[in-house]
């Protein structure tokens, strides 16, 4: 559910107010806007500007698309039957919006593009995710700059385009007493190769695999990553970091496969419990990088041999992880000198 499928339609009594909405949205990574034909589009930029003329929308190529108001099944059936292959169907819902949108998504296939109007930020996730695929474009009314932050929390920005994966040798493994470890249960199912990126320092985050593969005495829990100690960093879907202890329901974390793809997954719940911990120390070009994880057969750190239980990791194994800019302020990478031990 990414921002490139969301078109901000600034609403307000003054052009200055509408311009403030657009400027805030642009700052937060939104690049598609629906502007009134009386509003100044401003200087040329990388934004995509759609122009609203009454109940029609003009695209940058000059195509004009009518926005149909739908309040009955008969009207919806007629519109779907009339749209030409390769065309665009734009709909504003008058009453029910979820089930009829799912019906259009099912009927659309690859025949045409589907646009829909959301009257508030809270309607956007449902429009983007209907039957998993959702609308191709969601036009959302935004009345003040503060609403941009609420919308930003509901839709995702671009995922990190490139991660710098590294192999580091483990130099020591040993017990670390009792600690508060954090289990991250997610609203999506993970494969055995997928996991979270976690570590004591942002400069190198270890890949901790999911529990999609059980042990001899535990069932698979493919929605879970037993991530590590409460102080650890975890990489979020927007490329920032957060302490594991600060995660909460609804947060978007980055799920990664070593040297493979990444995706955004939402946190369903967090479980923090005191458990025996093990300390893994890897050598990163002379700098120690550490991970505190629960000592258990179901907790796996990714090595060159694949996901390896913390009960079986030994010095000499190569662990997999990602290098990041080390200095952080409120999770954001900053340019400053820093030393973490």
Which fold is adopted by the domain 164-324?
A: Endonuclease - Pi-scei; Chain A, domain 1 (2.170.16)
What does the block give as tokens for 4?
Answer: 């490139």
| pLDDT tens-place string over residues 81-95 | 999 999 999 999 998
Q: Is 136 exposed, middle or buried (0-12, 13-18, 19+ CB in 10 A)?
A: middle
Which fold is adopted by the domain 3-154?
A: TIM Barrel (3.20.20)
Rounded Cα gap, residues 185 and 188, in angstroms: 9
* Strands of 187-223, DSSP E: 195-201, 204-209
What does the block give as tokens for 133?
Answer: 């695929």
| Segments of the chain scoring below 70 in pLDDT | 1, 44, 157, 161, 326-341
Tell me, what DSSP letter sits at residue 171? E
For position 179, what pLDDT does the model report? 97
| pLDDT tens-place string over residues 27-38 | 888 889 999 888
Rounded Cα gap, residues 309 and 208, in angstroms: 10
Closest CA to 181 of 301, 278, 289, 288: 278
Q: What's the count of helices (H) and strands (E) in the chain, helices before strands?
A: 5, 22
Q: Are 1 and 136 in contact (CB under 8 A)?
A: no
Rounded Cα gap, residues 281 and 135, in angstroms: 47
For position 332, what pLDDT does the model report? 52
Give the residue extent of every domain in the chain. Answer: 3-154, 164-324
For position 330, what pLDDT does the model report? 47
For position 334, what pLDDT does the model report? 46
Q: Are 194 and 257 in contact (CB under 8 A)?
A: yes
């Amino acid at each position: 559910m990414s921002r490139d499928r969301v078109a901000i339609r600034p609403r307000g009594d003054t052009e200055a107010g509408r311009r403030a909405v657009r400027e805030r949205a642009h700052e937060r990574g939104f690049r598609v806007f629906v502007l009134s034909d009386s509003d100044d589009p401003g200087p040329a930029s990388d934004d995509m500007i759609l122009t609203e003329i009454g109940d029609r929308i003009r695209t940058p190529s000059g195509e004009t698309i009518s926005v149909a108001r739908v309040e009955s099944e008969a009207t919806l059936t007629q519109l779907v039957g009339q749209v030409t292959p390769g065309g665009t169907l734009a709909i504003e819902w008058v009453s029910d919006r979820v089930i009829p949108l799912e019906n259009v998504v099912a009927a659309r296939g690859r025949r045409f593009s589907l646009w829909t109007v959301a009257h508030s930020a809270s309607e956007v996730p449902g429009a983007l995710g209907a039957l998993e695929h959702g609308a191709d474009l969601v036009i959302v009314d935004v009345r003040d700059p503060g609403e941009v932050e609420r919308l930003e929390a509901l839709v995702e920005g671009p995922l990190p385009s490139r991660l710098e994966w590294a192999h580091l040798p483990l130099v020591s493994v040993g017990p670390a007493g009792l600690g508060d470890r954090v289990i991250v249960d997610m609203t999506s199912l993970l494969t055995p190769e997928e996991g979270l990126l976690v570590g004591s320092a942002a400069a190198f985050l270890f890949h901790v695999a999911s529990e999609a593969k059980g042990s001899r005495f535990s069932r698979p829990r493919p929605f879970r990553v037993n991530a590590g100690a409460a102080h650890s960093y975890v990489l979020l879907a927007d490329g920032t970091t957060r302490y594991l202890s600060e995660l909460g329901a609804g947060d978007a974390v980055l799920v990664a496969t070593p040297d493979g793809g990444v995706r955004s997954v939402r946190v369903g719940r967090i479980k923090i419990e005191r458990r025996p911990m093990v300390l893994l120390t890897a050598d990163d070009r002379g700098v120690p990088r550490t991970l505190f994880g629960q000592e258990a057969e179901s907790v796996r750190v990714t090595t060159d041999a694949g996901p390896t239980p913390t009960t079986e990791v030994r010095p000499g194994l190569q662990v997999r992880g990602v290098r990041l800019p080390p200095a952080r302020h409120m999770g954001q990478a900053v340019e400053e000198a820093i030393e973490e031990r």
